[in-house]
Structure 1
Amino acid sequence: MLNTTFSALPGHSQLRRLLNLRSLAIAAQLLTLLTVWKLLDIELAWLPMLVIIATLATLNFFSLLRLKSERPVCNLELFAQSGLDVLALSFLLYFAGGSTNPFVSLYLLPLVIAAATLPARYTWGMAALTTACYSLLMVYYIPLPHNPHDMEMSHDMGMAMDRDIAPDSAFNTHVLGMWLGFVISAVVVAYFVVKMAQAVRNRDAQLVQV
């Protein structure tokens, strides 16, 4: 039978913080969709995106019930929870422009969390997962539709531009640069934060022995 209060075990504390962050992410995602719908006049795949967010909320609910159990929360479970967040973000980005969406940089957040709370092998696993998802979104995604007002302005400006300019080439270079920047950031963050976390854990272990 489940307890009526949350466990104070270390793994449970980390999972609780992760669920708090997910709750904030769900609220931010809903606010973003509302802003796009009301202010930007851009038509997105609303139903699948709302289903993804609802799935995250359902996962959060059952994970809160999990916190009432005295069964330890292992590193693999914490990694799986973060991995599900990454997959949910990936599906949302798929329906909203893929790697061209500026929110693609949010992939760094679960990586930083993993580096700060999990052993090194899980951090590198998260780096591999986020990089793979980012890479796939460079190829597989639904392009963002244009705002009708912006399309009219772009058409008027395009009439005065040189026809020999190749915007697609410049755009592809921009996206490739974003991807390369992410890969470099992922490696650097994973390396230095893992080292920092190891140093903190070693210091704590030494203090306990004193």
Structure 2
Amino acid sequence: MTPTASMVISGVSGWLSGARAAENANGPADAIARQNMLQLIHLRWIAVLGQVVTILAVHFSLGFKVPLAAMMLVLAGLVALNLFSLLRLKRGAPLGPYDLFAALALDALALTAQLYFSGGATNPFTTLYLLHVILGAVLLEAWATWAIVALTTFCFVMLLSFNRPIIASGLSDQAFFDLFLMGMLLGIVLDALLLVTFVGRINANLRRHDARLAELRQRAAEETHIVRMGLLASGAAHELGTPLATLDVILGDWRRMPIFAGNPELAQELEDMRGEVRRCKSIVTGVLMSAGEARGGEVRVSTLRAFMDEVAGEWRATRGDQALVYETDLVAKTPIAAESTLKQVIHNVLDNALEASPGAVRLWVGASEGWLRIQVDDDGPGFTDETLENFGAPYNSTKGRAGGGLGLFLVVNVLRKLGGAARAENRTEGGARVVLTLPLAALEIEDGRDA
């Protein structure tokens, strides 16, 4: 078989099985409904295949005369229903409360038609009605489950009322009874196997749905935690603004006093104090700007390379020139909106690395295929297994102090809001590595340009 033919067959097989059909889901609830519909589609394919084999075997091998044309027409209807269901899953519209109910109801009607043409109520495969009822109890709401119960009951009553006996040529009554018992056995075994298989799959879908909901609840709790911390930081920044301004004024007045004007050492210390006060004021302003409370003009425009150079330069200026080895392969001048929150994120990771490995921190920045990658390495002791497993969780820290771990918690959540992610690992040669990735589209002003 040629590779092209193999790809075509694989594609057709994947489409018929509904592979990736649940990717158009509109939320977790729709995703679970689509997965359950896929289970019904798979079950229907099995039913079609099994009925073809059974009908042909009964008609040609066992001597029972059944209306082949009518029964094959019912199977063609099931195939058409499956194809329609697959097309329905390809659409973006969410599955409604009646979709699964309609699918099970049509399957029950198709089963009734096949039973009518092959012995009616005396057909041993009437036990398959229980499969529809149990699946309805698992998949459907209460009203729909009772509707399926009513429908299957009505169908069986109709089979009793309009019984169409099957004609068996050349079989004694005992042989006919033995075949009936064998059919009952096969029907019960088939019910059990299908129920265990498909109810197990449906329960697995429900467990994944519950896990997804738990993850969303955890994320919402973390974001609420961030909001509380942001409000606390914003309030503290407002409170610190007034005393810092007062100190700046007082220190400015002291500069003109004779005792400082005539003493160069005191004058220098005074200037150092004023510099630290100005730095504190700058930090407070940055906190307020990050909280969206102090926008001084339009959003600052920069380039990706200039922004990263600025991030590295500012961090170096306050931590020592020898503390950082900075490398980048950014070349082109991609215009971006300079994100102060991203700068704080990178500084936070660099601070953690410097604390673990003083004087041995490396920063590498690169971009490819629309993604920005920021890598920070250190030569410290590395992360513990527990820290790696819970990376980004609040208060997950190896520093052993109260409140530790909030820095990386903020890093992970800020990147997540920008559409990116953060991961940590221990390097084989020793030390730790933190990798930040985010889409360039989250920063770029003009789309379609690479760094």
How does the TM-score come out when normalised to structure 1? 0.69
Assess, with a 3 A threshold, how the Cα gap between structure 1 residues 152 and 132 changes in structure 2: closer, same or farther.
closer
Residue of structure 1 in register with 2:139 after alignment: 117
Residue of structure 2 in register with 1:6 after alignment: 21
Deviation for aligned residue 1:143: 0.6
Of the three residues 153, 162, 183, the one matched with 1:131 is 153
**SS of the residue aligned with 2:148?**
helix
Residue of structure 1 in register with 2:127 after alignment: 105
Deviation for aligned residue 1:151: 6.4
Residue of structure 2 in register with 1:45 after alignment: 67
Deviation for aligned residue 1:7: 2.5
Assess, with a 3 A threshold, how the Cα gap between structure 1 residues 74 and 143 changes in structure 2: closer, same or farther.
same
Residue of structure 2 in register with 1:166 after alignment: none
Distance across 1 between alignment mates of 2:171 and 2:134: 38
Work out whether residues 7 and 70 of structure 1, in 8 Å CA contact, stay in contact via their aligned partners in 2: no
Higher Cα radius of gyration: 2
Distance across 2 between alignment mates of 1:59 and 1:122: 20
Are positions 1:144 and 2:159 aligned together? no
Distance across 2 between alignment mates of 1:152 and 1:119: 45
Higher strand share: 2
Deviation for aligned residue 1:114: 1.0
Work out whether residues 7 and 69 of structure 1, in 8 Å CA contact, stay in contact via their aligned partners in 2: no
Overall identity of the aligned pairs, in %: 37
Distance across 2 between alignment mates of 1:153 and 1:90: 25
Distance across 2 between alignment mates of 1:56 and 1:147: 30
Assess, with a 3 A threshold, how the Cα gap between structure 1 residues 102 and 83 changes in structure 2: closer, same or farther.
same
Are positions 1:77 and 2:91 aligned together? no
Q: What is the letter of the counterpart of residue 34 of structure 1?
A: L
How does the TM-score come out when normalised to structure 2? 0.33
Deviation for aligned residue 1:150: 2.5
Residue of structure 2 in register with 1:22 after alignment: 44
Higher relative contact order (CA 8 A, sep 6+): 1
Residue of structure 2 in register with 1:179 after alignment: none
Deviation for aligned residue 1:149: 3.4
Work out whether residues 93 and 141 of structure 1, in 8 Å CA contact, stay in contact via their aligned partners in 2: no
**SS of the residue aligned with 1:70?**
coil
Distance across 2 between alignment mates of 1:109 and 1:42: 26
Deviation for aligned residue 1:121: 1.1
Instruction: Report how many residues are paired.
Output: 162
Assess, with a 3 A threshold, how the Cα gap between structure 1 residues 153 and 127 changes in structure 2: closer, same or farther.
closer
Distance across 2 between alignment mates of 1:153 and 1:24: 29
Q: What is the letter of the counterpart of residue 108 of structure 2?
A: V
Distance across 2 between alignment mates of 1:98 and 1:151: 18
Assess, with a 3 A threshold, how the Cα gap between structure 1 residues 153 and 67 changes in structure 2: closer, same or farther.
closer
**SS of the residue aligned with 1:138?**
helix
Distance across 2 between alignment mates of 1:152 and 1:116: 39
Q: What is the letter of the counterpart of residue 144 of structure 2?
A: Y
Superposed counterparts of 1:77-96, under 5 Å: 77-96=99-118
Deviation digits for residues 29-79 of structure 1 (CA, Å, limit 9, x no counterpart): 101101102310111111111100111111111211111111111221110
The Cα RMSD (Å) is 2.8
Q: What is the letter of the counterpart of residue 82 of structure 1?
A: L
Q: What is the letter of the counterpart of residue 125 of structure 2?
A: F
Q: What is the letter of the counterpart of residue 27 of structure 1?
A: L
Work out whether residues 42 and 146 of structure 1, in 8 Å CA contact, stay in contact via their aligned partners in 2: yes
Structure 1 stretches of at least 4 aligned residues deviating more than 6 Å after TM superposition = 151-154
Higher helix share: 1
Work out whether residues 95 and 141 of structure 1, in 8 Å CA contact, stay in contact via their aligned partners in 2: no
Distance across 2 between alignment mates of 1:95 and 1:37: 12
Residue of structure 1 in register with 2:188 after alignment: none
Segments of 5+ residues of structure 2 without an aligned counterpart are 1-18, 24-30, 177-198, 219-451
**SS of the residue aligned with 2:46?**
helix
Deviation digits for residues 95-151 of structure 1 (CA, Å, limit 9, x no counterpart): 111111000010011111111111111111111100110111111131110232326
Residue of structure 2 in register with 1:168 after alignment: none
Deviation for aligned residue 1:5: 4.5
Assess, with a 3 A threshold, how the Cα gap between structure 1 residues 139 and 5 changes in structure 2: closer, same or farther.
same
Distance across 2 between alignment mates of 1:152 and 1:64: 45
Distance across 2 between alignment mates of 1:153 and 1:60: 37
Segments of 5+ residues of structure 1 without an aligned counterpart are 155-192
